[in-house]
C-alpha cells in the first residue's frame, strides 16, 4: 500500500509541475469564459446604436401602428421576465428604433429601399402592404437574415399591431387593449410547491457541466493510458516491477492522475465563481446560479466514479499496446460509451424522467454523465440514485479486477499487437 501512495504522489507532483498543466488550467477557463461572455459583450456593443427601419404601408394609419408597436415592444422587452440570469443581457437591447413610415408601395421604391439596406443606409424594411397583411405574409428586408431573434421580435410586433388595430376598430380603449395583450407570466413549480427557477439557466447548467465532466474524465483517462505506454516503451516498467506489484503500480497511477484532475477542477470552479462576481463580465450570465453546493458535490462524486471506471480501461489499453497509434485505435472503443449521452443530451434535457433517460442513467458505462445530468435538471428519487451509484461501484470493482489482470501481463509484453484470444489467456494466466 505504501508503494501505491508513493507512486500516486510521484505522478501527482510530476504532472502538476508541468507547463502543460498550467497552460490547460488557464486556457480552458479562458476559452469557456470567452465563449460565454464575448458574444454577449459584442452583441451589446453592436446594439448600442439605434437602428433605422422603414415601414412601408399602403395605409398610413397601419404603418404608424406598426412603428409604434415595434418601439413599444423594444422598450418593454418581455425577455426581461425570463429570469435574473438574462435580465442584464435583455436590458442591453436598444430602447427604441428610428422608424420611418412610407406609403409608397411601388416596386421601384422597394428596389431603392433594398439598395439602401444593402448599402447599410437602412437596417431593415418592413413591407406591410394591404395585400401582404391580408395574407399574413409580410417581407422583412434585412442584411441580418440569420438573426432569428430580431426577425422574431419584428414578427411579434407586427402581429400585436394588427391585433391592436382590430381591437381599436371594435371600440376597445387603450387600457383594455393593453390588458388584452399583456402576456401571462407562467412560472414552473415542482410538485412540492417549490419554484423550479429559470428553465434556460437550468438547461444551460446541465449542458455546460456535462461537457466539463466529459472532458475531465476523457482527458485524465487518456493521460493514464499515455503514462503507462510511455513507461512501457522506455522499459522503466521492468525496473519498477521488481519492487512494486502490478496492481499497486496501476492503482498508484490512477490515483495520482485523478488527484491532478481534482486539483484542476477545483481551480476551474474558483475561477468560475470569480467570473460570476466580476463586474467586468457584464454579459448577464449569473454563474452563481449554475455552480451550487449540490452540483459541486455530485460533480466530484461522478467525476471520481467515471474516472475510476474509464482510467482502469485506459490503463489496460496502454499496457496492451506498443505504440501511440495502436493505443489511439483501441481507446476509441473505450470512449464510445461516453459519447452516447452526448447524442441523447437533447432528449435527456427535455425528458429527464423518461424511461430511456432512466435506463441510460442506470447503465454503468453511461451513468456518470446521464445521472449527473438528471440531478442537475431534476433530482431523481433516492432509490434510482442509489441504484445507479451501486451498479457503478460494482462495475468499477469488476473492471478494475479484469483490467488489473490484463495490465499485469500486458505491461511486460512487447512486439505484435495482442489479439482477443491472447488477452483472454492473459486474464486466465493472471
Which of 124, 157, 181 is where one domain is finished? 181
Query: Do residue 97 and residue 141 come from a single domain?
Result: yes
Residue 187 lies in a domain: no
Query: Do residue 228 and residue 275 come from a single domain?
Result: yes
Q: In terms of C-beta distances under 8 Å and separation of at least 24 residues, what long-range contacts does 21-29 make, across chains too? A: 21/260, 21/264, 24/264, 25/264, 25/267, 25/268, 28/215, 28/268, 29/267, 29/268, 29/271, 29/272, 29/275
Which residues, at least 6 apart from 326, have a Cβ–Cβ distance to it below 8 Å?
A: 417
Query: Do residue 164 and residue 241 come from a single domain?
Result: no
Which of 181, 205, 228 is where one domain is finished? 181
Helices 199-233 and 293-320 pack at an angle, to 10 degrees, of: 30
From first to last of its 430 residues, the chain has per-residue pLDDT tens of 677 777 777 777 877 777 777 777 777 667 666 665 665 555 555 555 578 889 998 888 888 988 888 888 877 654 444 443 344 444 444 456 788 899 888 889 999 999 998 888 888 899 988 888 888 888 998 887 767 778 888 888 888 888 888 888 888 888 888 888 777 777 666 666 565 555 566 676 677 777 777 887 887 788 888 777 777 766 666 666 666 776 677 777 778 878 887 787 778 777 766 655 554 444 444 555 555 677 778 888 888 888 888 888 888 887 777 777 777 777 888 888 888 888 888 888 888 888 898 999 899 888 888 888 888 877 888 899 999 999 999 998 888 888 777 777 777 666 666 777 777 776 666 5
SS3 185: coil
SS3 210: helix
Residue 40 lies in a domain: no
Which residues, at least 6 apart from 427, have a Cβ–Cβ distance to it below 8 Å?
A: 402, 405, 406
Query: Do residue 395 and residue 252 come from a single domain?
Result: yes
Q: HSE-up of 289 (CA within 13 Å, CB side)?
A: 18
Pairwise CA distance, residues 320 & 414, whole Å:
9
Helix, strand, coil abundance in the chain, percent, nearest 5:
70, 5, 25
Query: Do residue 144 and residue 240 come from a single domain?
Result: no
Residue 257 lies in a domain: yes
Query: Do residue 310 and residue 171 come from a single domain?
Result: no
Query: Do residue 330 and residue 266 come from a single domain?
Result: yes
Residue 188 lies in a domain: no
Query: Do residue 28 and residue 64 come from a single domain?
Result: no
Residue 43 lies in a domain: no
The gap from C-alpha 87 to its chain's centroid, in whole angstroms, comes to: 20
Structural domain count of the chain: 2
Query: Do residue 176 and residue 262 come from a single domain?
Result: no
Residue 322 lies in a domain: yes
Q: Is the whole-model pTM more than 0.85?
A: no
Query: Do residue 29 and residue 76 come from a single domain?
Result: no
Which of 181, 210, 235 is where one domain is finished? 181
Query: Do residue 176 and residue 216 come from a single domain?
Result: no
Expressed as residue numbers, the domain containing 105 is: 52-181
- Kind and range of the H or E element at 308? helix 293-320
Query: Do residue 135 and residue 275 come from a single domain?
Result: no
Which residues, at least 6 apart from 110, have a Cβ–Cβ distance to it below 8 Å?
A: 56, 125, 127, 141
Residue 45 lies in a domain: no
Q: And the C-alpha cell for 184?
A: 401571462
Residue 424 lies in a domain: yes
Amino acid at each position: 500500500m505504501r508503494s501505491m501512495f508513493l507512486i500516486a504522489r510521484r505522478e501527482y507532483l510530476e504532472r502538476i509541475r508541468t507547463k502543460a498543466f498550467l497552460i490547460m488550467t488557464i486556457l480552458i477557463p479562458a476559452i469557456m469564459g470567452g465563449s460565454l461572455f464575448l458574444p454577449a459583450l459584442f452583441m451589446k456593443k453592436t446594439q448600442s446604436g439605434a437602428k433605422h427601419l422603414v415601414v412601408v404601408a399602403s395605409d398610413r394609419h397601419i404603418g404608424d401602428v406598426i412603428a409604434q408597436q415595434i418601439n413599444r415592444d423594444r422598450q418593454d422587452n418581455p425577455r426581461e421576465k425570463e429570469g435574473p440570469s438574462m435580465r442584464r443581457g435583455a436590458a442591453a437591447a436598444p430602447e427604441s428604433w428610428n422608424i420611418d413610415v412610407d406609403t409608397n408601395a411601388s416596386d421601384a421604391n422597394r428596389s431603392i429601399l433594398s439598395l439602401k439596406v444593402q448599402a447599410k443606409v437602412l437596417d431593415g424594411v418592413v413591407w406591410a402592404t394591404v395585400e401582404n397583411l391580408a395574407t399574413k405574409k409580410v417581407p422583412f428586408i434585412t442584411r441580418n437574415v440569420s438573426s432569428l431573434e430580431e426577425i422574431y421580435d419584428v414578427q411579434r410586433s407586427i402581429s400585436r399591431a394588427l391585433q391592436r388595430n382590430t381591437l381599436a376598430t371594435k371600440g376597445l380603449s387603450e387600457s383594455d387593449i393593453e390588458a388584452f395583450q399583456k402576456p401571462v407570466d407562467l412560472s414552473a413549480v415542482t410538485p412540492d410547491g417549490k419554484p423550479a427557477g429559470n428553465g434556460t439557466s437550468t438547461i444551460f447548467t446541465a449542458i455546460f457541466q456535462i461537457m466539463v465532466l466529459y472532458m475531465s474524465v476523457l482527458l485524465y483517462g487518456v493521460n493514464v493510458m499515455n503514462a503507462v505506454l510511455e513507461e512501457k516503451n522506455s522499459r522503466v516498467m521492468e525496473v519498477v516491477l521488481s519492487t512494486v506489484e502490478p496492481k499497486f503500480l496501476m492503482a498508484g497511477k490512477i490515483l495520482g492522475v485523478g488527484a491532478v484532475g481534482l486539483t484542476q477542477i477545483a481551480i476551474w470552479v474558483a475561477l468560475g465563481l470569480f467570473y460570476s462576481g466580476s463586474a467586468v463580465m457584464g454579459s448577464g450570465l449569473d454563474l452563481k446560479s449554475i455552480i451550487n453546493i449540490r452540483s459541486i458535490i455530485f460533480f466530484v462524486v461522478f467525476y471520481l466514479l467515471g474516472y475510476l471506471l474509464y482510467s482502469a480501461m485506459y490503463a489496460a489499453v496502454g499496457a496492451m499496446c506498443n505504440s501511440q497509434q495502436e493505443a489511439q485505435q483501441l481507446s476509441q472503443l473505450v470512449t464510445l460509451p461516453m459519447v452516447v449521452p452526448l447524442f441523447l443530451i437533447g432528449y435527456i434535457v427535455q425528458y429527464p424522467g423518461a424511461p430511456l433517460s432512466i435506463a441510460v442513467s442506470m447503465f454503468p458505462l453511461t451513468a456518470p454523465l446521464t445521472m449527473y445530468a438528471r440531478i442537475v435538471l431534476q433530482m431523481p428519487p433516492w432509490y434510482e440514485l442509489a441504484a445507479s451509484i451501486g451498479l457503478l461501484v460494482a462495475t468499477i470493482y469488476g473492471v478494475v479486477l479484469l483490467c488489473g489482470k490484463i495490465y499485469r501481463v500486458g505491461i511486460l509484453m512487447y512486439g505484435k499487437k495482442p489479439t482477443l484470444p491472447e488477452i483472454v489467456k492473459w486474464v486466465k494466466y493472471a
